[in-house]
Amino acid sequence: MRRDLPILDRDGHLSIYHWLIFHALLAWPNSSVKRSGFISSMKAQVEEGLQEGIPANDLMMNEIYGSWMPLRRAMPAGCLVGDMLLYLVQFAINPECPRLSMRKARHLVLSASQGATTINGHAVPQDESTLKRTWREKKDVSHLYAGWILVSTDEYLLDKYKNISDKREMMTERFLDLISIAEYISELANSYDVVSDWNPWRCPEPLLNGSKVAFSPPSAPVKKALSRYRAPSSYR
């Protein structure tokens, strides 16, 4: 059954709380109770700030990143899951590449993340069992993490955001790009059947802005990392 991101208000417009709802889904994709508790708590703080004339986007970013530790803990591991999905799609759509198994996708992600740290300087989870568990927990939002990665790293998109002088307009544009790209990635994942047994959160159709990304062939470092993969002895 299709599940749309619950980010439209009663009039069918983008909710002013879209960033809060989005981040709650990233942290707790499988717990509506925890999401609701977080959103209610943050809304109270945001509404207090709104009465003081502070823009909603500024308030939500400050609350989410300044004081909300669960997101800081969730994002690094979640971004690894997003990277996994990007690798799976990248190899699937390139006719010259073999399809990746989940084990090989984990190998590529762990190889690329060696030595990485979180915003607080803590080491990013580096073992396969942790990544395997995180994938099970977050695969339904893996495309959202993938979208987050791309709007944070794609040079074309970053240049576009630099040219938008109004911060609130830029944040809204970035969000719409993110969820539209995430929708595109989930459609590719479904078309090429790279993820089994998932029910990704979808972008509401009125918010799709047509943003997509081009998947280039795997780079030489990625191919080299894949060549170093060795299946466990039990698989040989």
- What's the confidence (pLDDT) of residue 128? 87
Q: What is the mean pLDDT of residues 39-67?
A: 63
Question: Does 208 map to a domain?
Answer: yes
**Summary mean pLDDT of the chain:** 85
Question: Does 18 map to a domain?
Answer: no
pLDDT at 107 over 90: yes
pLDDT at 58 over 90: no
- What's the confidence (pLDDT) of residue 126? 67
Question: Does 131 map to a domain?
Answer: yes
Single-letter residue type at 97: C
Domain total of the chain = 1
User: Tokens 């969730």 appear where?
Assistant: 74
Question: Does 7 map to a domain?
Answer: no
Domain that holds residue 87: 72-235
Question: Does 38 map to a domain?
Answer: no
Helices within the chain (DSSP H only): 18-27, 32-50, 56-67, 69-93, 102-112, 128-138, 142-153, 155-162, 167-191, 220-227
**Nearest in space to 129 (alpha carbons), one of 23, 232, 235:** 232
Question: Does 132 map to a domain?
Answer: yes
Question: Does 122 map to a domain?
Answer: yes
Which is more confidently placed, 127 or 26? Answer: 26
Question: Does 227 map to a domain?
Answer: yes
**Nearest in space to 202 (alpha carbons), one of 215, 224, 226, 185:** 185
State pLDDT tens for residues 142-158.
999 999 999 999 999 99
State pLDDT tens for residues 160-175.
999 999 888 888 999 9
